[in-house]
Amino acid sequence: MKKKERPEPPPGGQGQGQGPGGRRRRPLPLLPFLSLRDYGLCMAALLLFCLGSLCYQLGGGPPRFLLDLRHYLGNSTYLDDHGPPPRKVLPFPSQVVYNRVGKCGSRTVVLLLRILSEKHGFNLVTSDIHNKTRLTKSEQMELIKNISTAEQPYLFTRHVHFLNFSRFGGDQPVYINIIRDPVNRFLSNYFFRRFGDWRGEQNHMIRTPSMRQEERYLDINVCILENYPECSNPRLFYIIPYFCGQHPRCREPGEWALERAKLNVNENFLLVGILEELEDVLLLLERFLPHYFKDVLSIYKNPEHRKLGNLTVTVKKAVPSPEALQILYQRMRYEYEFYYYVKEQFHLLKRKFGLKSHVSKTHPRPEFFIPSPLETEEPIDEEEEDDEKWLEDIYKR
C-alpha cells in the first residue's frame, strides 16, 4: 500500500495555526477564565449599560431610583461638583391668577408684586385692559390662551371676573383675591371717581372729562335716597361677579350668583383675604406662596412703601346719613352675605395658623349694622386706564 503523503508546509515556515511538529493550535481566549457563553453575557451587559447611559442623558437626569439611592446614601455626589447645572425647578403652584376686585387694595398689592417679581424671578403678567371685566366666549378663550402660554412660574393680574380655564381645556390656575366691606368699597369708588386721591384732584379730573359738574358734586345722600343709577342695583352688585364668573346670571343680584360665588371660593381660590386685615392677608400669602410672596410683609411695612401707599387714600370722602346707609345695606344684602361668608372663612384660616382676629362680637345682619368708613389704602378703580403707567412712574422716582 502507498503511504499517504503529508502535505508540505507552505514556504517560509510552518502552516497557519500549527505548532511545532505540525500540531494545530487552539486560539487563546481574551479572558482565559471565561467561557464563550460568559463572554457573550458580558457583552450583552455592556450593551445594556450603554443604552441606559444614553437614555439617562437624553432624559435630562437620573431615574427615580437613583435619586432615592442618593437620598439614602447622602446628598453629596460627584455630580454636585462636576455635573451640569440642575434644571430649573418650577414652584408649586406655578400658575397663579389675581383677578383683583376694584377699590379693594389692588394697587397696593400690584406695587408689591412688581417688587417681588424682580426679587424672586417669577413672571408678573399684567394687562393693558383695565375697564373690561365681562368677556364674550371668544374673548375668554383668547385671554385664557394668552395666560396659559405665559412663561412659568407666572402670576397674572387684571380686573376681570372669574374665568373657568378647564371649561376651555386649559389647566385651572390657583386664584387669589382681596375684598372689603361693600359699603366702604362703594363710598371709596364714589368719591374717588369725583375727586381722586392725594396725588391731586386736577390729575383725576383730566381722566374723567365727561363727568358733568352737577354729577361730580352730587350729594351722596341724594344719590342714594333718590335712587340714582350709580347708587342702585345692578351697579351696587359689584363684588360677587368677580367670584361667580362670566355667566350672565352672575351679574343679576340673587341667590344663584351668591351660591355660585361661594362655590368658586371653596374650589378655585387658595385665599380670599379681607382688606381691613391686609397685614394678615400678606402673611398668609407669604406662607402659602413663598416663591411669590416671600418677604412681602417686611416690604409692605417699609417706611418708603408706606409713603407711596398714603398717596392712594381717597380724598373728600363723606359718610352718608343713617337713613341712606340703611337703604344701601338693603340694596347690598347679597354683597354682605358674601362678604361675611368670606370673612368667616378667612378667620378660620387664620386660627389654623395661630393668628388672632380682633373681633369683639359677632356682627348683626347687614341691614341693621352701620359701620364707619375705613381709612384704608386705595387701589385704582377698573375704570381708570393708566394704572400701569402710574406704577411705572413710581419706579422712575
- Give the span between the Cα atoms of 18 and 14, in whole angstroms: 7
Neighbours of 193 (CB within 10 A): 20
Inter-residue contact 197 to 378 (CB < 8 Å): yes
| Rounded Cα gap, residues 288 and 96, in angstroms | 12
What cell does 113 get? Answer: 408684586
C-alpha cell of 238?
359689584
Kindly give, in sequence order, each residue whose CB lies less than 8 Å from that of residue 278, ignoring residues fewer than 6 positions away: 105, 108, 178, 300, 376, 377
**b/e map of 166-191 (b: 16 or more CB within 10 Å)?**
eeeebeebbbbbbbbbbbbbbbbbbb
- For helices 182-195 and 322-331, what crossing angle results, to 10°? 110
Clarify whether 347 is annotated catalytic. no
148-151 contacts at long range (C-beta below 8 A, 24 or more positions apart): 148/95, 150/123, 150/125, 151/123
Q: Which single residue is written with the C-alpha cell 486560539?
A: 27
Note whether 257 and 241 are within 8 A (CB).
Answer: yes
Distance of CA 10 to the CA centre of its chain: 87
Catalytic residue (choose from 71, 120, 130, 159):
159
Which residue in 94, 99, 98 sits closest to 246, CA to CA?
99
In the three-class reduction of DSSP (H, G, I as helix; E, B as strand; rest coil), residue 273 is classed as strand
Grid cell 431615574 is found at 63
Catalytic residue numbers, as ranges = 159
